[in-house]
Structures are given as structure tokens and as C-alpha cells.
């Protein structure tokens, strides 16, 4: 019901920063990609699973290969992000680099997530109709901060 109300408010121009699925049904550009990825991070950092999950297509696939974790569909991703109750601990996600190929609608980014412990990783995403259709991530647990982690190869 809440999503329906947001949809109607966006359609009638009452909200300025509407979720991507309500305002963008075409291929996106680099700036829109960065905004989409920053919205995922903001949703996680605010413990707002709905905000983060709304960046994903209804039939999106979120995975950590080869078989560590896989979530199919926005509803399952929303639950993974904490659902309506939120996550029990604070999540802090920071993007370090984001790259996007507008022609193929494929992007990637390096990130750090702290959720009790710290991991540094990389994600590849496929955008479909303005939303994340596929999310594939790889990460390494580390006690180092980002600068310590990339010490031998910074850029």
C-alpha cells in the first residue's frame, strides 16, 4: 500500500526524489547509474531496506558466486536488507569507484561495508529499464580500512 501511495505521489509530481522504478523506464546514463548506486548505499546506511530494494527490478537477482548467497526478486532482496524491521546492527556502505558502460548498461563498483566486521569488495550490475536487474558481488573480510587494503595499488 505504501508503495502504491508513493507511486501516485510521484506520478502527480509531489515527490522530488522518486524511486527509479517510478520515473525511469529507459536506458540510463552514467550520472543516473551513480545516483542509483548511491541510493542503494544510502538505504543500507539509513537501515531503510525499502529504499535500497526499490533500486532493484521486481525480478532482480542478487548473488555472491558461486553459491554463497542468492536472492531472487525485489521482495527477497528487501528481506535480505532488513525488511520492515531493519537490520539488527548498523550497516555502513561506502563506494570507492563506480564505472558504467551506457551502451551495455553494465556497471561496477568497489565498496567497503562495515556490519560488525569490515569487508572490501567489488560488484558487477546489469541495469534493465532503469533498475538493477542483476547484482553479482565478490568481497574479502579484512580488519584493514580501505587505504590499508589497497596500499600496494592505490588509484
Q: What's 94's domain CATH number?
A: 3.10.450.50
pLDDT confidence of residue 19: 52
Which domain range does residue 39 map to? 24-149
Closest CA to 111 of 137, 77, 133, 89: 137
Tell me what percent of the residues of the chain surpass a pLDDT of 70.
85
Interval 29-87: pLDDT, tens? 999 999 999 999 999 999 999 999 999 999 999 999 988 899 999 999 999 999 999 99
User: Computed from CA positions of residues 18, 138, 136, 117, in that sequence, does the dihedral angle turn out positive or negative?
Assistant: negative
In a domain, residue 154? The reply is: no
In a domain, residue 66? The reply is: yes
In a domain, residue 3? The reply is: no
Tally of structural domains, the chain: 1
Average pLDDT, the chain: 88
Amino acid at each position: 500500500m505504501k508503495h502504491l501511495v508513493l507511486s501516485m505521489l510521484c506520478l502527480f509530481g509531489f515527490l522530488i526524489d522518486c524511486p527509479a522504478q517510478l520515473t525511469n523506464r529507459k536506458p540510463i546514463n552514467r550520472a543516473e547509474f551513480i545516483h542509483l548506486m548511491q541510493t542503494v548505499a544510502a538505504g543500507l546506511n539509513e537501515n531503510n531496506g525499502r529504499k535500497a530494494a526499490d533500486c532493484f527490478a521486481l525480478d532482480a537477482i542478487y548473488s555472491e558466486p558461486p553459491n554463497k548467497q542468492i536472492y531472487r526478486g525485489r521482495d527477497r532482496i528487501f528481506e535480505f536488507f532488513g525488511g520492515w524491521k531493519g537490520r539488527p546492527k548498523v550497516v555502513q556502505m561506502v563506494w570507492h569507484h563506480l564505472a558504467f558502460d551506457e551502451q551495455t548498461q553494465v556497471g561496477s563498483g568497489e565498496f567497503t561495508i562495515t556490519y560488525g566486521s569490515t569487508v572490501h569488495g567489488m560488484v558487477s550490475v546489469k541495469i534493465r529499464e532503469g533498475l538493477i536487474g542483476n547484482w553479482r558481488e565478490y568481497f574479502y573480510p579484512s580488519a584493514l580500512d580501505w587505504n590499508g587494503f589497497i596500499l600496494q595499488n592505490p588509484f
